[in-house]
Amino acid sequence: MNFSSLNKYILLTSNAYLPNRGGVENSLYYLARAFSEKGYNVIILISDVGWSPAYVDEIIENVEVRRYRTRFINSKIALPFNGIIVLMNLLSQFIEIRKRYSPVLTVSRYHLTTLLATMAGLKPQCYLIPGVVKYQDSVKNLQSNPGLSRSMILRLKKRYHMWVQKLALSFVDRCLVFSETMFKQVATVASPKDTVSIVKPGVDCDFFKPLSEQAKKALKKDSSIFENDFVFLSVGRMVRAKGFDLLVDAMRSLSQCKLVLVGDGPELEELKRRANELGMSNQIEFIGQSSNPLKYYQIADAFVMSSRYEPLGQTILEALACDLPVVAFRSGPGVDTATEEVIGKYAFYADDANAESLAEAMQRCMECKFNNGLAYQPRQLALTSFSWKTLAGKLLNE
């Protein structure tokens, strides 16, 4: 413990946290742990999305978690007024935290919280960018066939969030990204006042870890999930950017294996319909949202990152930590991901953005595990290259 940090506070903020599950939510959790281990008091300020209003604030593992309200007015007609109230309430909470705790560092993972924390005078502040709205929130990345009215709403929301992110990037003290891909994308939308730094994310290798073959078979049996089959796993929000439609179609060529899909989102029902239409309902298991994704990593034999757009892909690191080989698309026409940058040659790549190419890469992965074994150890890459403690130190300029 660094005793010089005692009684000093660090604020982490974003738009969502536990019980929501995702790369951003996990990063807040693990950064909070890393800062706490360095002796800092940590406050997390996030929205109440996905949380019961009866439990607004709480203490989680000695971290003070505050949730700002996102609904003051229920009327759809008065929705714009609700948004204004939410912004004013959030700004006042940032000001109150600044006056009461004087954080030595604020780390934000959402453009709106970044902008409002800046307006509240919280300095120094690091904007650890999860994605660039211009690319991440394009209509084609969110839904396949949103319809005219839905498409217009999505475009208006995108324009608003692009504007907010541009302001956040322009005024925050420091901007950090997880990949060269994101670095280049940031340069197309704003001119940050300081140099954008590229840092590596972390993964909890003590939590995400493989089981012995015997324990794995027992877990498969207890979970009633494809006990005697080779199992591919994919985890993420069910939106078009994740490419799950291509993954479902790819399974048509892989009748000798099974697929487990973990996650929820607007494309979920369409994916289920497609699987049924192709007669693969017994070959693909849709888990939906899970509060315990670890067991699915431990059940799986390989992991598929089927994304068309992915500025990082935290699930790849979790898969590596569980010693799973990764299948993914190479960046190219129709695919904009950081997979090759993050894990390099340690993956089985599909060269073209289609189901046939993905199926071929999955087949190579499966044959390699069956015949010769892997030429590398996925978990070793996770252990040596990705650390939350290292990232926490870089955020503190240590």
Strand order across the beta sheet in which 174-177 lies: 58-60, 63-68, 41-47, 9-13, 105-108, 125-128, 174-177, 196-198
Could you read off the pLDDT of 322-357 as tens digits, one per residue? 999 999 999 889 898 889 988 888 899 999 999 999
Q: Compute the CA torsion angle 156, 133, 15, 200 (nearest 10 deg).
A: 180
Task: Show the tokens assigned to 28.
Answer: 């807040």
Selection from 249, 236, 375, 259 nearest residue 318 by Cα: 236
CA atoms within a 13 Å half-sphere pointing along the CA-CB vector of 82: 12
Could you read off the pLDDT of 142-166 as tens digits, one per residue? 556 666 776 787 788 889 999 999 9
Q: What pLDDT shows up at residue 145? A: 64
pTM of the model: 0.83
pLDDT-derived band of residue 290, with 50, 70 and 90 as boundaries? confident
Could you read off the pLDDT of 27-72 as tens digits, one per residue? 999 999 999 999 999 999 998 876 655 556 788 888 999 998 887 7
Give the single-character DSSP code of 178. S
Could you read off the pLDDT of 353-375 as tens digits, one per residue? 999 999 999 999 998 876 666 76
Contact assessment for residue 133 and residue 161, using Cβ atoms and an 8 Å cutoff = yes
pLDDT-derived band of residue 78, with 50, 70 and 90 as boundaries? low
- As a whole number, the mean pLDDT across the chain is 88
pLDDT at 3 over 50: no
Could you read off the pLDDT of 182-219 as tens digits, one per residue? 899 999 988 887 789 999 999 999 999 999 989 998 99
Task: Show the tokens assigned to 119.
Answer: 């307006």
Sketch out the chain's domains with CATH numbers.
3-203+387-395 (3.40.50.2000), 213-385 (3.40.50.2000)
For 223, 247, 267, 357, the CA distances from 278, given in Å and listed in that order, are: 25, 13, 17, 18
Say how far apart CA 210 and CA 386 lie, in whole Å.
17
